[in-house]
Amino acid sequence: MDITPNIRLDEALTATAGVYFDGTILLARVESPYQTIEIYDTHDVGRLMRIDGVNMTSERDEFFYHENLIHPAAIAHPAPKTALIIGGGDGGAAEELLKHPSITHCDLCELDGEVIQLAKQYLQVVHHGVFGDPRLHVSIDDGVRFLQNSTINYDLIYLDLTDPVGESAALYTVDFYSACSAKLTNGGALTIHIGSPFMHPERVNAAIGRLGAVFQHVTPYFGHIPIYGATWGFAVASNLIDIAAIDATTVNTRLASRNVSKRQFYNGETHTAMQALPEYVKTLLAD
């Protein structure tokens, strides 16, 4: 174990602004064929995973991201059975998804097996041992290739990706969203994170436009992610499901009937509130 103390971690959100954590301890660093993966111990958020200098997930704040990535589409679907997560090697998304008892099969396709190995070793608080769940089937593969070769149609597809550069860039395109749409069951839905509307307005606008070129219903929603240092966007896209049509009472009823417990953020009220768009976001998405 490589333990190096008292490191300040800076992450740039733009060329002139960012977020930092000070006094951290480096626990592990791996140079994989694709990227540099690091695990730090921090005062504020516990163990933190970074990839190529970008904060990915942490023990203390992971629920802000993973609950809100997973549950809006899963709860809007009446009974999801099959799911695909592309990316998500830390296991947090799969752990949230498999709280839904109707899920019988979940594929997780992660490009870099080292991410999974480090998560298993250091981030048990994030994944809670989900890699041992028999419903979860892990493949180390390129997401585009995996989707092309899959023989399964999915009720839910989640793109839990790094930022849209390098290896991930091909997974943020109209062509790939079209390929995902072709692999969805009737009534299935795709969920993706789309960046910060304040720090990355062009990225958010482009993402919604590309999704809208493929899907009939595209619903963005937003919440603060502490380790990202910004309000962050997500979107659910479908040709049938509209998460905006599910009210708070229905969400809470379904959460209770499915016994989706041990949540720290998501409920019926937040499901509705996250879709309420500030005027600057309305303007951004209208352009």
- The kind and range of the H/E element at 145 are helix 143-149
Instruction: Count Cβ atoms below 10 Å from residue 171 Cβ, excluding itself.
Output: 23
CB 156 within 8 A of CB 73: yes
Place of tokens 């002139």: 16
Q: Which of 90, 160, 175, 242 is catalytic?
A: 160
Angle 201-212/174-182 helices, nearest 10 degrees?
Answer: 40
3-state secondary structure 185-251: EEEEEEEEEEECCCCCHHHHHHHHHHHHCCCCEEEEEEEEEHHHCEEEEEEEEECCCCHHHCCHHHH
Please confirm, yes or no, whether 160 is among the known catalytic residues.
yes
Q: Work out the angle at residue 144's Cα, subtended by the Cα atoms of residues 142 and 146, and round it to the nearest 5 degrees.
A: 65
List residues with catalytic annotation.
160
